[in-house]
Chain A
Amino acid sequence: MVSRYDVAAVKFETAMARLEAIVGELEKSDLPLDESLKIFEEGIRLSKSCLKILEEAEHKVEVLVQDKNGKKRIHAYSSDEESDEPSA
């Protein structure tokens, strides 16, 4: 069974894999120049968007809580929490 990834996560993993593949292809150096230029451009685009993803992602910590009625709520985590109390 395949887990349902966040779209950005799949994109990053795919992008990295494609980028590695492109560099490998370029270094084999048996492509004609216009082919090389095409995948070089793709590679540069990929590396830029990967960096962008890394730079723009936020660090967020949340707590999933089930309150008395059985409903699930998410609230932010603070490191000095000792017991889980849902916010009002």
Chain B
Amino acid sequence: MSQIRAVLFRSSANRLRFGLQEGLHVIVRGRLSVYEPRGEYQIVLDMIEPKGIGALQLAFEQLKERLAEEGLFDQDRKKAIPPFPRTIGVVTSLTGAAILDILAVLRRRWPIVHIVIAPVQVQGEGAGRQIAEALTALNGLGSVDIVIVGRGGGSLEDLWSFNEEIVIRAIAASHIPVVSAVGHEIDVTLADFVADLRAPTPSAAAEAVVPVLADIVERLSELRVRMEQVMLRHCASERRRVDAGLLGLKDVRFRLQEAAQQTDDLMDCLCKMTQRLLRVRREQVYEVQRNLSSLNPILVIKQGLVRIPHLSKRLEGRMCVTMEHHRHWVRATLAQLNSLSPLAVLGRGYSILQTVPAGQIVHRASDVETGQELEAQLVRGRLSCVVTRVLDDSPV
């Protein structure tokens, strides 16, 4: 295998769209020259192309892989498209069919939307930068709800701007949802991967971001009709319930009247029975009162008071009788006593001799001595005596 050194100056290398990788097969064109310090031949390249696939295609693959690794194409990064946008931003060329198609579709479907166009070049040098700046500007307005970025059909070269890294990053950085609409159905650019929604054509993008006004108006009308129908049905059934209730109420009124009458009757009955009971009880009370009165202590006292004089008299009577008895007894006893009284004996001429001072009665002459002083009690009076002689003690 023959080898020759190839030289690619930095200025040329910078213009390459694809990255140079070791092992890459390339087709080159250049001018032969001699590198004198080494004394070698070399080719100074002015064109270099990957063999097999195009430079652009390779660049596309390389960039796609790199950005995908950063996660820029991830499904969960994609924002939802709001269903009823007020303002739509469009990044595209002012010339060309794309803008006309978009405007036509939007006007037809949802004519009330406000559109802001950010005109850009859609191919060539600087187009990528313009597209990126337009996206930033629309984000900066603050009033845009959705952005459509796109262009009409063309070759891979023509569409290349929508593969540029600066555009991809601008779409990724947009906080407004972005719809990509580049070329035709079969055209795929990296913008399509990073966008929140990919549309196959600009017209399709316009269709995707707005509903049909007539449909929405009809939907509103339909919803209103459905609500009204539901309410009519509901009210009707409630009305029927109320009517049924009313019928029930009339029935209730009749039964209330019956019940009222019954109540009156029962009240009468109750009154009469109460009165009767009252009478009976009152009678009982009087009876008891009477009994109680008759047991009144005052009566007893009065009766007693009446009896007391009688009893007193009887008592007196008895006392007299009793006293008589006693008197009689006393007289009798006195007489008896009298008869037994030594005084009576004395009256018959006897006297009682007593010692002095002891007062002992002298029964025997031997009890005294001659010269002893004695006192003789006579029936009347006393004598003080002295024993002159004690004579013989013989019984009478």
In the complex, the answer to whether A57 meets B112 with C-beta atoms within 8 Å is yes
Known: A26-B231, A33-B234, A83-B94. A9 touches B117 (CB 8 A): no
In the complex, the answer to whether A59 meets B230 with C-beta atoms within 8 Å is no
Question: How many chain A residues touch B (Cβ–Cβ < 8 Å)?
Answer: 46
Closest to A62 in B: B116
Interface of A is mostly: mixed
Chain A residues within an 8 Å CB radius of B240: none
In the complex, the answer to whether A50 meets B220 with C-beta atoms within 8 Å is yes
In the complex, the answer to whether B103 meets A61 with C-beta atoms within 8 Å is yes
Known: A29-B234, A54-B112. A13 touches B223 (CB 8 A): no
Chain A residues within an 8 Å CB radius of B41: none
A23 and B224 alpha carbons, distance in the complex (Å): 8
Most buried by B among A2, A9, A51: A9
In the complex, the answer to whether A44 meets B227 with C-beta atoms within 8 Å is yes
**B64 contacts chain A at the CB level, 8 A cutoff:** no
In the complex, the answer to whether B224 meets A40 with C-beta atoms within 8 Å is no
A9 and B177 alpha carbons, distance in the complex (Å): 14
Closest to A28 in B: B230
Q: Smallest Cβ distance from A75 to chain B, in angstroms?
A: 10
Chain B residues within an 8 Å CB radius of A64: 89, 116-119, 134, 137-138, 141
Question: How many chain B residues touch A (Cβ–Cβ < 8 Å)?
Answer: 47
**B340 contacts chain A at the CB level, 8 A cutoff:** no
In the complex, the answer to whether A16 meets B84 with C-beta atoms within 8 Å is yes
In the complex, the answer to whether B116 meets A40 with C-beta atoms within 8 Å is no
Chain A residues within an 8 Å CB radius of B126: none
Chain B residues within an 8 Å CB radius of A16: 83-84, 216
Chain B 234-250 residues near chain A, CB threshold 8 A? 234-235, 238
Chain A residues within an 8 Å CB radius of B118: 63-64
Interface string of A1-29 (1 = CB under 8 A from B): 11111101100110010011011001101
Known: A13-B83, A64-B116. A3 touches B175 (CB 8 A): yes
In the complex, the answer to whether B142 meets A65 with C-beta atoms within 8 Å is no
Known: A59-B112, A63-B117, A64-B117. A3 touches B234 (CB 8 A): no
In the complex, the answer to whether A65 meets B234 with C-beta atoms within 8 Å is no
- 30 A/B residue pairs, CB under 8 Å, sorted by A: A3-B176, A4-B175, A5-B145, A6-B86, A9-B86, A12-B86, A13-B82, A19-B220, A22-B227, A26-B227, A27-B230, A36-B234, A37-B231, A44-B227, A47-B223, A54-B213, A54-B216, A57-B112, A59-B107, A60-B115, A61-B114, A61-B117, A63-B94, A63-B117, A63-B118, A64-B117, A64-B119, A65-B119, A83-B94, A84-B119
